[in-house]
Structure 1
Amino acid sequence: MATATAITPGSTRTEKTPQRRRGGMNKPRGIDWLMVAFVVVGAILVVAPFYLIIVNSFKSPAEYSNSGPLSIPTEFYVDGLVAFWERVNFPEKLWNSFFISGTVAVLAVLISVLNAFAIGIGRIRGRSWIVLLFLLANLLPQEALLYPLYYMAKGVGLYNTVWSVIIIFTVIQAAFGTYLLASVYGTFPKEVLEAAAMDGATRWQILWRVVFPISRPTLSVLLIFFFIWTWNEFLIPLTFLVSNATQTVPVAISVLQGDRLMDVTTTSASALLGIVPTLLFFLIFQRTLTRGITAGAVK
Structure 2
Amino acid sequence: MARPLSPRQLAENEAFLAALARCGNVREAARALGVHRSTLTKRRAKHPAFATAWAAALVVSAATPDDGEVEGLHRVRTAGGSQWRRNRPGGITRAAEQAFLLALSATANVRLAAAAAGFSHASFYARRRRDPVFAREMRLALETGYDRIELALLAQGLDGSGAAEAWRHNDPPPIPPMTANQALQLLYLHQKEARLLAEPAHLKRKRGESKDAHHYRIAVMYRLAQARERERFELAEAGRRARGEASWAPERVALPDLAQVGGWSKAKPGGEAGQDRALFGGKRKRVRAGRRRIAVRTLS
Would you call these one fold, judging by a TM-score over 0.5? no
**Shorter-chain TM-score tier:** under 0.3
Give the structure with the higher percent strand. 2
TM-score under structure 2 length normalisation? 0.20
Give the structure with the higher percent helix. 1
TM-score under structure 1 length normalisation? 0.20
Which of the two has higher C-alpha Rg? 2
Kindly indicate whether structure 1 or structure 2 has the higher relative contact order, using CA contacts under 8 Å at least 6 residues apart. Answer: 1
